[in-house]
Amino acid sequence: MKIARFSKLGFILAAAGSAVGLGNIWKFPYITGEHGGGAFVFVYLITVVLIGFSIMVAEMLIGYLGRKDTVTSFEVLAPKNPSLWKYAGFQSLAGLFVMIFYSVVIGWIFHYIVTSLTWLPSSVQEAENVFSAMLHTDIPTQLFYHTLAFIWITYILTKGIKGGIEKMNMVLMPALMIILLGMFIYATRLEAFSQAVEFMFSPDWSKINSNAFVIAVGHAFFTLSLGMGAIMTYSASMEKNSNLVTNAFWVVFLDTAISIVAGLMLFTFLYQYGSGPAKGPGLVFISLPAAFYEMGILGNIFAVLFFIALAFAGLTSAVSLVEPMVQYFIDRFSWSRLKASLSMGLFFYLVGIIAILSNIDGYKEALTWGGKSFFDWVDYTTSAIMLPLGGLIMAIFVGFALPKQRVASLIKPQLGIAFEAWYFSLRYITPLAMFIVMLNVLGIF
């Protein structure tokens, strides 16, 4: 049976689709707002180059050489102790666990697409009240849209690499870019655009502290969809003789460019129609809808387009979060793609219902421990432990476990004189940064 492979463009768009997610359009702008704008963006861009790119190439290398699911790839590539190294491949569980709450958030976005067609909140306070009511009291709405997200994601997974994942990304990624670019061009015509540019690119170093550095490192890593086996799994289906460095560059470039464009666009709208750069996770669901309201009927159009773009970003990432475990059960247990996709889909869907209930009045108390709801615990555990641990393991595996000669034989012709700098970053800078991020999120550092 012929093994399905991504086309060159299909791989880049699929990997970029995996990287470009809610973190780019939702999280990046609000953490930039929280940490002073330009100085934070500068630190973020440096860490993308030094750490994000290093891990991206390493993860692609493991997948490209292993040609199997994450567990099998570590096992067949490990020169020593393959029976131990295979457990490193279970980092793919992180993506499945992320999907427990990621699918719920995609459901919120679906809901906002529909409501924005006819209604927008007239103030930030009204927007906050509406969002809070949905989050804490409205089970039917959240369950309905969570179900739609589950159906979409699982259906795409059942169609496989070419017929599902590549085809979806070949449509949604260009559509996402066109929507954001169109809104960005409109933003450049507004008076507040210069304020947004100054905020994002004029460093105020007094706003930067050690915590901001750690957050920049962590976000640069997480926004590229690293540490959970998604890029590794996609790379296993890359065409032979592919240039890993070029592919990694395009994925990192597209991911970073979309973050910057989204940030400039959102801050322009908030300066022009709101009260300046909003802070906190409520930027997209609270501050931004209120700003759109001030635009009149154009605001409804922009709100719908924006939430569609956000949904596209979420869906392309969501599929990549589940695919590693789908591929694991196909390779290791000879499951059909239908069985594996439905099983993994039902897992995140059913546990996701618990995540929804953990925010609902009347259920929240029973599903809260240590000051965090079940929803928050899943988010915290994946971001604080599983994802940075996955990145740390990959850096150690490629930097120390794999023979340097084998790594160099593939990567050095592609990187040229920059190979030694990349290899040094992978062995020393990246593991240290990942370790510090873990300690920081855990409250130890």
Residues 280-318 have pLDDT tens digits of: 567 788 888 988 999 999 999 999 999 999 999 999 999
Query: Which token pair is 261?
Result: 């464009």
Question: Does residue 2 surpass a pLDDT of 50?
Answer: yes
Distance CA 337, CA 340 (A): 5
* Residue 38 in this model has a pLDDT that exceeds 90: no
Q: What's the pLDDT band for 20 if we cut at 50, 70, 90? A: confident
pLDDT at 214: 76
- Among 216-220, 387-391, 401-405, 427-431, top mean pLDDT goes to 401-405
Torsional class of 208: left (φ above 0), alpha (ψ -120 to 50), beta (otherwise):
beta
With residue 373 as reference, give the H or E element that holds it: strand 372-373
Q: Are 373 and 362 in contact (CB under 8 A)?
A: no
In which band, very low, low, confident or very high, does the pLDDT at 76 lie, cut at 50, 70 and 90?
very high
Percentage with pLDDT > 70 across the chain = 97
Q: Which of 182-196, 226-240, 272-286 is predicted least confidently?
A: 272-286
Location of structure tokens 């640069």: 220
**pLDDT exceeds cutoff 50 at 1:** no
Q: In this structure, what is the dihedral angle of CA atoms 150, 152, 158, 159, given to the nearest 10 degrees?
A: -170
How high is the mean pLDDT of the chain? 91
Nearest to 188 by CA among 314, 74, 279, 272: 272
DSSP assigned state of 192: T
Least confident of 193-202, 334-343, 410-419: 193-202
Which pLDDT does position 279 carry in this prediction?
55
Q: How far is CA 220 from CA 52, 56, 226, 424, in A?
A: 6, 11, 10, 19
Closest by alpha carbon to 276, among 43, 30, 22?
30
* Tens-place pLDDT, residues 85-111: 999 999 999 999 999 999 999 999 999
DSSP state of 383: I
Q: Which of these ranges, 13-22, 111-120, 149-158, 215-224, has the smallest mean pLDDT?
A: 215-224
Position 275 scores a pLDDT of 66
d(CA 123, CA 291) in angstroms, rounded, equals 8
CA distance 209 to 336: 50
pLDDT at position 280, please? Answer: 59
In this prediction, residue 204 has a pLDDT band, given cuts at 50, 70 and 90, of: confident
**Which pLDDT band holds residue 216 (cuts at 50, 70, 90)?**
confident
Confidence of residue 277 (pLDDT cuts 50, 70, 90): low
SS3 sequence of 328-369: HHHHHHCCCHHHHHHHHHHHHHHHHHHHHHCCCCCCCHHHEE
pLDDT of residue 367 exceeding 60: yes
Domains belonging to the chain, first-starting first, are 8-441 (1.20.1740)
What is the structure's pLDDT at 49?
86
pLDDT at 281: 64
Which residue has better confidence, 257 or 31?
A: 257
Tens of pLDDT along 349-358?
A: 999 999 999 9
Residue 319: pLDDT over 90 = yes
What pLDDT, on a 0 to 100 scale, did the predictor assign at position 189? 95
What secondary structure letter does DSSP report for 372?
Answer: E
What percentage of the chain exceeds 90 in pLDDT? Answer: 69
Mean per-residue pLDDT, 49-56: 89
What number is the average pLDDT over the span 332-361? 97
Task: Specify the range with the lowest mean pLDDT, choosing from 1-10, 59-68, 360-369.
Answer: 1-10
- Reference 14, options 242, 193, 185; nearest CA is 242
